[in-house]
Amino acid sequence: MEYRRDRVALSMYMAGCLFDATADLMKLNDNPGPSPVELFERFLAWTARRTPGSDR
């Protein structure tokens, strides 16, 4: 609930998580892992989605 009403702060936090996940995946030489598009969807794309009845 920390980011419930602060979508910008949530997006910034999730961008940091994306950065960390990307760095971790770069260390895996033999496993390509998720594509950049999949990572974006997983970490950031959903933060901009609005739900019906949301106040923002």
Could you state, in order of their start, the residue ranges of all structural domains in the chain? 7-48
Phi, psi for 4 (deg, rounded to 5): -50, -45
Q: Which two tokens stand for residue 9?
A: 């702060």
Q: What is the pLDDT of residues 2-50, one digit of tens each?
A: 888 898 999 999 999 999 988 888 888 777 778 888 999 999 998 886 6
3-state DSSP assignment of residue 23: helix
Q: State the pLDDT confidence band at 51, using cuts at 50, 70 and 90.
A: low
Tell me, yes or no, if the pTM score tops 0.75.
no
